[in-house]
């Protein structure tokens, strides 16, 4: 559990919970009920077709947002949503729903735009909340650089609780993204750089929040 000491009234993280529920429903439909609705075809992005799709109807631009709520499999969903819950719940309580959703959406959209550019010839589905979650991590680092994350790890037959500085977590995560970007195969339908863009955008928006509230 992460705790922020503040005398200000904290907001109930309703949007964080709503996003989590939407992504859960989406992955259940993708995995178990594809005959009901083709989630990927309706809401994900195909980079090679995106320009033509928007030319045909502006509503296809909304895929830049809807793709943030879809994941390819349970591992993809769990990997994003575990970090999401750790960061999003306390962040929304501290910032309020408006700034939280701005950081989440703008970071995610920015990451998707970069992915579309770099994967302009790809016909693979572009989906996932990685860019948006990266933005939340960037915002957290900007606003709470001294905050520590409490985690429980197994040590032999016991569970040990340790506190890890968020700066250390962010540096490790960012380094992993840079390494993956430099070593990824050209045909691999993943743009690790989009995670970095999401991180930077979240950091900048959090800075704007900080400036506007001082």
In a domain, 5, yes or no: no
Within-domain flag for 200: yes
185 pLDDT higher than 60: no
Give the residue, 155 or 135, on which the prediction is more confident: 135
Over the stretch 53-63, which tens digit does the pLDDT of each residue have? Answer: 999 999 999 99
Backbone angles phi, psi at 45, to 5 degrees: -110, 135
Model pLDDT, residue 150: 65
Q: Are 142 and 201 in contact (CB under 8 A)?
A: no
Q: What confidence score (pLDDT) does residue 151 get?
A: 63
Q: Is position 6 within any domain?
A: no
DSSP per position, 12-65? P-HHHHHHHHHHHHHHHHHHH-TTT--HHHHHSB-HHHHHHHHHH-GGGGGHHH
Range of the domain at 208: 14-212
Look up the CATH number of the domain holding residue 169. Answer: 1.20.1540.10
User: Is residue 67 over pLDDT 80?
Assistant: yes
Residue 9 lies in a domain: no
In a domain, 168, yes or no: yes
* Per-chain mean pLDDT for the chain: 85
**Predicted confidence (pLDDT) per residue in 84-129, tens digit:** 988 899 899 999 999 999 999 999 999 999 999 988 888 889 999 9
Q: At 149, which helix (H) or strand (E)? A: strand 148-155
For residue 147, being part of any structural domain is answered with yes
pLDDT score for 181: 62
Q: How many domains is the chain partitioned into structurally? A: 1
For position 6, what pLDDT does the model report?
A: 46
Token pair 């033509």 in the structure block, residue: 52
Q: What angle do CA 182, 187, 190 make, to 5 degrees?
A: 65
Region 175-179 average pLDDT: 71
In a domain, 90, yes or no: yes
* R_g of the chain computed on alpha carbons: 18
Q: What is the pLDDT of residue 157?
A: 64
Has residue 74 been placed in a domain? yes
């Amino acid at each position: 559990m992460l705790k922020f000491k503040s005398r200000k009234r904290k907001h109930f993280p309703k949007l964080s919970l709503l996003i989590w529920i939407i992504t859960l429903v989406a992955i259940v439909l993708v995995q178990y009920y594809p005959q009901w609705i083709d989630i990927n075809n309706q809401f994900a992005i195909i980079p090679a077709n995106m320009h033509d799709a928007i030319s045909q109807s502006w509503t296809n631009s909304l895929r830049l947002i809807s793709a943030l709520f879809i994941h390819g499999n349970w591992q993809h969903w769990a990997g994003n949503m575990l970090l999401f819950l750790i960061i999003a719940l306390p962040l929304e309580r501290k910032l309020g729903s408006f700034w939280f959703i701005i950081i989440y959406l703008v970071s995610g959209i920015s990451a998707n735009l970069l992915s579309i550019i770099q994967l302009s010839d790809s016909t693979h589905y572009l989906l996932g909340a990685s860019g948006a979650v990266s933005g939340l991590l960037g915002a957290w680092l900007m606003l709470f650089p001294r905050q520590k994350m409490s985690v429980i790890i197994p040590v032999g037959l016991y569970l040990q609780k340790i506190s890890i500085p968020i700066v250390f977590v962010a540096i490790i995560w960012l380094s992993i993204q840079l390494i993956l970007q430099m070593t990824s195969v050209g045909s691999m339908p993943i743009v690790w750089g989009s995670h970095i863009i999401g991180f930077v955008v979240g950091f900048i928006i959090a800075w704007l929040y900080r400036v506007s509230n001082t």
